[in-house]
Amino acid sequence: MKVRGYVAAAAVSALLAGGIAVLAPGAGASATPLNSGAMSDEGFAIRGADNAVRSIIPDEENTSSVSGTSASVSMESTDRIILSADARVFLLQDQDGGVLLSSANPTLEQGAETVPAKFVVEDGHLIVTPVEHSPNLARAACASSFWGNLIFNIGMAGVCAMLGIATAGPGGVACTMAVIGANLGIDWDRPC
Amino acid sequence: MCRFRTLLSGRVDWNPRQVGRLVRLLWSLTVLGTLVGFLVQALVGARDWSGVSTDMIPVFLGATLGYGLLWLGSVIAVKRREYPPE
């Protein structure tokens, strides 16, 4: 199914969750929703002139270092992603330079307002983030909880060893039991 | 095991060997006890199986660093006692 750019622009608009960007296949490429019933949830596949299929599938969770909405990009090793200097124009090209997919001037909905956004490519993920982008707070919180858990265990190791030395063993063992209880009971991932 | 029993019944001095035994006991209890706890929690459905290995990383690293540094401290303390700085 060959789809011309202007038709596809309407067909694949709002494919990424939140209606963030209009992605248009280039001339000679075709776009197919992976699930026509839930296009925005399932993403879509693009068949290029070389007959190879690329796909863009929205991620359930943005695990990248920047905030916004992310999608996994599956493409051929010879394909190239080109971003404009201001990162507001995205092009996916095949090895011959043919445009498989293009998108420009994405926006993000933040509450009631729509803010201008830009593209970021990170580890095979295409992320649409506000132009004034901020770090991914969820990921930062996860990192803090990891370090919190680590420092807690280092500190408690010192406390338990000192108690063990002071009480010739039993105090250290009791302290260690308390640490095990804390490790099992504290939900360190809650901030994530 | 016998050594640990002796350890629990006697006084531990800042002797690196004795501190080493105590530290090994406490490290093993912390890491293995937490691992068993996580596995039990996963068995009863209170924790994801996939999260057990990830959650063990800070426990393992923290216990290793904490007890390792303390043992190293005891070794340095003894060395300084044997060879005091002039």
Cα–Cα distance measured from residue A7 to residue A13, given in angstroms and rounded to the nearest whole number: 10
Which among B10, B26, B38 is the nearest to A172, CB-wise?
Answer: B26
Amino acid (one-letter) located at A25: P
Determine which of A2-11, A129-138, A183-192, B71-80 has the lowest per-residue pLDDT on average: A2-11
Chain A CB contacts of B42 below 8 Å: none
CB contact under 8 A, A151 and B70: no
Rounded Cα gap, residues A100 and A24, in angstroms: 8
pTM of the model: 0.50
Residue A32's alpha-carbon distances to A44, A46, A47, A95, A100, in angstroms, are 5, 6, 8, 21, 13
pLDDT of residue A166: 81
Nearest to B12 among A154, A165, A180 (CB): A165
Closest Cβ opposite residue B11 in set A168, A172, A179: A168
- State CA A114 to chain mean position distance: 20
| ipTM of the complex, rounded to two decimals | 0.78
Rounded to whole angstroms, how far apart are CA atoms A92 and A124? 13
Collapsed DSSP state (helix, strand, coil) of residue A114: strand
Give the pLDDT score at A169. Answer: 76
Q: Classify burial at A34, counting beta carbons within 10 Å of its beta carbon; exposed 0-12, middle 13-18, buried 19 or more.
A: middle
The stretch B50-66 carries a mean pLDDT of: 89
The tens digit of pLDDT for each residue in A128-163 reads 888 876 666 666 666 678 888 899 999 999 899 888
For residue B7, give Cα distances in angstroms to A174, A179, B11, B13.
15, 21, 7, 10
- Comparing A66 with B44, which gets the higher pLDDT? B44
**Does the pLDDT value for residue A5 go beyond 80?**
no
State the Cα–Cα distance between residues A156 and A133, nearest whole angstrom: 38
| Stronger pLDDT, A40 or B54, i.e. the higher one | B54
Q: What is the mean pLDDT of residues A3-19?
A: 35
Name the average pLDDT for chain B.
Answer: 81
Residues of A in contact with B61 (CB under 8 A): 150, 153
For residue B41, list chain A residues with Cβ-Cβ distance below 8 A: 184
- Decide which of A40 and A10 is more confident: A40
Run of H or E including A107: strand A107-110
Mean pLDDT, chain A, integer: 75
